[in-house]
Amino acid sequence: MAVRTATPKAPKVPEIRKGDTVVVLSGKDAGKRGTVERVIRQAAAPRGGRSIFRRGSSAGGVKVVIEGVNIAKRHTKPRQSSSATDRMPKIQQGGILDLAQPLPISKVMLVCTSCGKPTRVAHATLETGRRVRVCRHCGEQVEVKS
Ligand SMILES: [Zn+2]
């Protein structure tokens, strides 16, 4: 299928999505691979500004939760989680939980589904107008099977 390469200043197609396989670049889990469970988008801190958030946090940080990576043990009591999503209120059981902690998106790299290498992402537009992500190594589309 013909794929046109996108202009460098491409619109925002997220580089990493839920269901992607990624490799961790740094930290205690460097080198580990896992599946993205969740992508967390945080509001960008106002530029040059009085941010109410702690300093040094990366602007507009996007974080990802990766299955089995960056695990923190949490000791919990049974409770109803208030942070649960509407459609899935979850009741937490007491005990020790292995919780995957979010990692900044800059610390992970997408793994190509075709060639299996960690890759930076190029963007392309299909003839249908659909925007897709493309592996810079092999040129194949990197798509989440869903
Ligand atoms: Zn590839």
* Helix/strand number for the chain, H first, E second: 0, 13
Rounded CA gap, 4 and 1, in Å?
A: 10
Please, are residues 20 and 35 in contact by the beta-carbon 8 Å criterion? yes
87 C-beta neighbours (distance < 10 Å), count: 5
Give residue 32 CA to ligand 1 midpoint distance, Å.
Answer: 18
Q: Are 124 and 5 in contact (CB under 8 A)?
A: yes
Buried b (16+ CB within 10 A) or exposed e, 6-28: beeeeeeeebbbeebbbbbeeee
Distance 52 CA to ligand 1 centre (A): 41
Rounded to the nearest angstrom, the distance between the alpha carbon of 33 and the centre of ligand 1 is 16
Mean pLDDT of 52-81: 75
For 135-144, the pLDDT digits (tens) are: 999 999 997 6
How far, in Å, CA of 118 to CA of 70, rounded? Answer: 19
Residue 75 CA, ligand 1 centroid: distance in Å: 40
pTM of the model: 0.66
For residue 117, what are its two tokens?
């290498």
CA of 142 to the centre of ligand 1 (A): 8
The arithmetic mean of pLDDT across residues 57-77, rounded, is: 81
What value does the mean pLDDT of the chain take?
80
Task: Give residue 88's pLDDT band: very low, low, confident or very high (50, 70, 90).
Answer: low
